Chains A and B, each alone.
Chain A
Amino acid sequence: MAFDCTLSREQEMVRETVRAFAEDVLKPRAAALDRTREFPHDNYRRAAALNLTGMMVPEAYGGAGFDAVSYVIAIEEVSRACASTGVVLSVNNSLFCGPILKYGSEEQKRRYLVPHARGERIGAYCLTEPGSGSDAAALRTSAVRRGDRYVLSGNKVFVTNGVAAHTFIVYATIDAKLRHRGISAFIVERDFPGLRTGKPEHKMGITASGSVEIVLEACEVPAGNLLGAEGEGFKIAMNTLDGGRIGIAAQALGIGAAALEESLAYSRSRQAFGAPIAQLQAIQWKLADMATELEAARLLAYRAAWARDHLERYSLEASMAKLFASEACMRAAKEGVQIHGGYGYINEYTVERLFRDAKITEIYEGTSEIQRLVIAKEILKGGPA
């Protein structure tokens, strides 16, 4: 089957309903959430009513059974109104439900996937540690088998949703010397003994996304909560990130689209030298570049989403989409501030928040450098060098 970028009627309807929801419910709250840094519990609950918490999970497991292109559309629309809520949903969908659906046992699916896909619970993903980010295989959190349990010890940082999550997928190693071959994935409930959260991170942007340190002090996890096999964790983590990157590309599209929208409106109304600044060619060129790059990014994201639904491997497509969309988003946010002049630097103007929100898309779920690394590796594969 070939990639076709015309949207189906259902995909159009997803855009319509999520946009209405985002405009009416999420957008009016976004500035206050940015200020208070409170986790958007009510947004999450209401998103769950639209089935936005388990979009690609089959209905039999509490999800909506939709395709990845619809997922991109929905996360873009949510993020256009509130980027924090965008990543909160993306993490639950891609980084939590995704791997349990793919690698989980039937029992794990019933126990964990169903309530998280339905949005009755919130999931999180714990890979990064103080000493390992891009080099995830260097993680130190240990997992020691004791009878019918594993005992996990270590620290995880920057855990999105961490302040509110009920359940965490924690990556730990059964033997650090094995590097990536020792890494295993565990489903850890918040109230398992030995798990506690640290202090919330004070972030530049997406301030309401509940990032926190997770401390595991001899945390006891039933053996039945091992996700996949021992040593399979690194593969699960990387495969999960392929899907997650499509979600972050979509988040970037949303932030970028909002920057463009704000800039169009502002440049039409702001007068300078006797005319709206939208009539200045210098401003028009910025707007034209923003619109073009975002549209290109959108098509890359749709293609990556299509590849996820139809191909065995889609790392290349996902990395390209994430890299290009996040950088297009950052440029759009930067030019958006520039178009607003001094007002763009002031908190009352939405672009100020968008500028702060945009930057993270170039960092998490693989920095731009790591995306380039993945892309280069894929395109050089099989050749002599």
Chain B
Amino acid sequence: MKSLVLVKQVPSADSPFRLNSSGTWIEEGNLTFGLNDYDRYALEALLKLKDAGKVAEVVALTVGPERAATVLRTCLATGADRAIHVKDAALEGSDPLSLAKVIKAAIQGEGFSLIMAGLQADDDNYGQIGPLLARLLDRPSATAAMGLELRDGTTVRVEREMENNRLLVVDLTLPAVITVQTGINEPRYASLKGIMAAKKKEIRTVALKDLGLDAAEVGGRAARLRTVRLASPPKGKGAEILKGPADEIARELVKRIREKTGVI
């Protein structure tokens, strides 16, 4: 069984975030980048299936600029077998639907049975790529997976995270697209041997024209969703700072949490 993991390079959380001059995104100059955290869990889910002999090949795919190749190499060093990098200047400013169309075109003929992605990307939080791709492929999808089990060659059982700590268990007929929640597993780290082995693994780079796509249909110019403004949320009202000795504060805090959430 062939499997695919969709990955994205995102700014690291400890980067200095500054708005760009147009106020629509962050200044990219002084950022450091890494693999989207959710995607580490998606990759691990597939690597575990591969370790168990249930998946024969794990392929990583990203759509992104030149620098995004780094996250593909990280995936290869961690255990993915090969990678696909869709890279085209016309893709800058793409909306999620465009990206899903591009991904569909890039994997045509590959015959992936299981396609995984992170639930969302740490930077733009759209959470759309998985479901949109499933729709375009006319295949079932499940989001927020907290558990995953290949039943046989035709079905995958997914435990989906719901509100209030509940799980919804669903069976999907393969091929299927699944997005995963963090915490579904414990992602491994790239090993030194993995880094060495990755040198010999393939990263296939493709541009829009290789996919038979036109910048008028997909990419920045074709976007039907545009970012208007990126801003910090307004200062919250009703914030209260508890004062007094630590034990009293702690007691008051427990009381309020209990009243508000019933958790403890």
Which residues of A line the B interface, CB within 8 A?
9-10, 13-14, 16-17, 20-21, 49-52, 55, 59, 64-66, 70, 74
- A66-B189 contact in complex given A10-B199, A13-B74, A16-B74, C-beta closer than 8 Å: no
A60 to B78, CA, bound (A): 21
Residue in contact with A51 in the complex, picked from B34, B191, B198, B199, CB distance below 8 Å: B191
Q: Does B195 contact A (CB under 8 A)?
A: yes
Interface residues of B, dominant DSSP? helix
The answer to whether B192 and A14 touch across the interface, beta carbons within 8 angstroms, is yes
Contacts A/B (CB < 8 Å), 14 sampled:
A9-B73, A10-B195, A13-B198, A16-B190, A17-B74, A17-B190, A20-B189, A49-B189, A50-B190, A51-B191, A52-B192, A64-B192, A66-B192, A66-B196
A13 to B189, CA, bound (A): 11
The answer to whether A10 and B74 touch across the interface, beta carbons within 8 angstroms, is no
| Contact code string B9-32 (vs A, CB < 8 Å = 1, else 0) | 000000000000000000000000
A70 to B198, CA, bound (A): 16
A51 to B195, CA, bound (A): 11
Q: In the complex, which residues of chain A have a beta carbon less than 8 angstroms from the beta carbon of B196?
A: 10, 59, 64-66
The answer to whether A50 and B191 touch across the interface, beta carbons within 8 angstroms, is yes
A115 to B196, CA, bound (A): 20
Interface residues of A, dominant DSSP? helix
Q: In the complex, which residues of chain A have a beta carbon less than 8 angstroms from the beta carbon of B77?
A: 13, 17
Q: In the complex, which residues of chain B have a beta carbon less than 8 angstroms from the beta carbon of A74?
A: 192
* Chain B, Cβ-Cβ closest to A11: B195
- Give residues of chain B (102-129) contacting chain A, Cβ–Cβ below 8 Å: none
Which residues of B line the A interface, CB within 8 A?
34, 73-74, 77, 188-193, 195-196, 198-199
The answer to whether B192 and A51 touch across the interface, beta carbons within 8 angstroms, is yes
Q: In the complex, which residues of chain B have a beta carbon less than 8 angstroms from the beta carbon of A20?
A: 189
The answer to whether B195 and A13 touch across the interface, beta carbons within 8 angstroms, is yes
- A17-B193 contact in complex given A9-B73, A49-B188, C-beta closer than 8 Å: no
A360 to B34, CA, bound (A): 35
List the 7 closest pairs (A to B, CB-CB), nearest first: A64-B192, A51-B192, A17-B190, A21-B189, A50-B191, A13-B195, A51-B191
The answer to whether B193 and A51 touch across the interface, beta carbons within 8 angstroms, is yes
A174 to B67, CA, bound (A): 60
* Chain A, Cβ-Cβ closest to B188: A49
A52 to B198, CA, bound (A): 17
Q: In the complex, which residues of chain B have a beta carbon less than 8 angstroms from the beta carbon of A52?
A: 192
Q: In the complex, which residues of chain B have a beta carbon less than 8 angstroms from the beta carbon of A66?
A: 192, 196
The answer to whether B190 and A59 touch across the interface, beta carbons within 8 angstroms, is no
The answer to whether A13 and B191 touch across the interface, beta carbons within 8 angstroms, is no
How near does chain B come to A128, taking the closest CB pair, in angstroms?
Answer: 30
Q: In the complex, which residues of chain A have a beta carbon less than 8 angstroms from the beta carbon of B74?
A: 13, 16-17
How near does chain B come to A349, taking the closest CB pair, in angstroms?
Answer: 18
How near does chain B come to A265, taking the closest CB pair, in angstroms?
Answer: 11
Q: In the complex, which residues of chain A have a beta carbon less than 8 angstroms from the beta carbon of B191?
A: 17, 49-51, 64
How near does chain A come to B70, taking the closest CB pair, in angstroms?
Answer: 9
The answer to whether B190 and A13 touch across the interface, beta carbons within 8 angstroms, is yes
Q: In the complex, which residues of chain A have a beta carbon less than 8 angstroms from the beta carbon of B34?
A: 16
A50 to B79, CA, bound (A): 12
How near does chain A come to B145, taking the closest CB pair, in angstroms?
Answer: 22
Given A50-B189, A66-B196, 5 extra CB contacts under 8 A:
A10-B195, A10-B196, A17-B191, A52-B192, A64-B193
How near does chain A come to B80, taking the closest CB pair, in angstroms?
Answer: 14
A16 to B188, CA, bound (A): 13
How near does chain A come to B8, taking the closest CB pair, in angstroms?
Answer: 17
The answer to whether B193 and A59 touch across the interface, beta carbons within 8 angstroms, is yes
Q: In the complex, which residues of chain B have a beta carbon less than 8 angstroms from the beta carbon of A64?
A: 191-193, 196
How near does chain A come to B182, taking the closest CB pair, in angstroms?
Answer: 13
A50 to B191, CA, bound (A): 4
A10 to B73, CA, bound (A): 10
A55 to B193, CA, bound (A): 9
Q: In the complex, which residues of chain B have a beta carbon less than 8 angstroms from the beta carbon of A10?
A: 195-196, 199
